Copies of this chain bind each other. A is one copy, B any other.
Amino acid sequence: MKLSVRGEYALRALIVLGLDYIEGDSVVRIHEISTRQNIPKRFLEQILNDLKSAGVLESKRGIAGGYRLKRAPENITLAEVIRHIEGPLAPVSCVSERFYEKCSCPNEDKCAIRSVMKEVRDAIVKILEDVTVAQMCERVKKLQGTQANPLDYII
């Protein structure tokens, strides 16, 4: 699958936004996410905007602007996010459900590689479709204890 840096940044940003998520209109600035997660700001801009167009985030402009989750973190799976940012989860596109592409092998239906890669795909999808942003936030809390860890911030 090989997650790109872009995809990793997306997930890191979503954790920040997930931890911040409260019903209400609270919003987090790009700059804050960038600083807390050590992500180049201009690059992060693109990514957040992309997640907005995916319907994962919403934004507020102007001086008190920023981003927040558009949906509850329980309803955002890693699979959805990664698919939107990176494309197929499958190791080869000839076994991808949503991004299928014919491959160059002589007979796709009877291809042994394909059958193995389908297993790999299923294993990946099973995990990534199960894990939500909310669960990632849980893990963060469990791993770090309930109070914010100073190391989470760049000084």
Residues of chain A touching chain B, judged by Cβ–Cβ distance below 8 Å, are 1-3, 8, 11-12, 15, 36-39, 78, 91-92, 103-107, 109-113, 115-117, 119-120, 123-124, 126-128, 131, 136-137, 139-140, 143-144, 149, 151-154
Contacts and interface: CB of A to CB of B under 8 A. Distances in A.
Give the dominant DSSP class at A's interface: helix
How many copies of the chain does the oligomer comprise?
Answer: 2
Contacts of A107: 144, 149, 151-152
Contact of A127 (B8, B39, B123): B123
Contacts of A2: 1-2, 91
Q: Which 5 residue pairs across A and B have the least CB separation, nearest first?
A: A112-B139, A123-B123, A110-B143, A2-B2, A107-B151
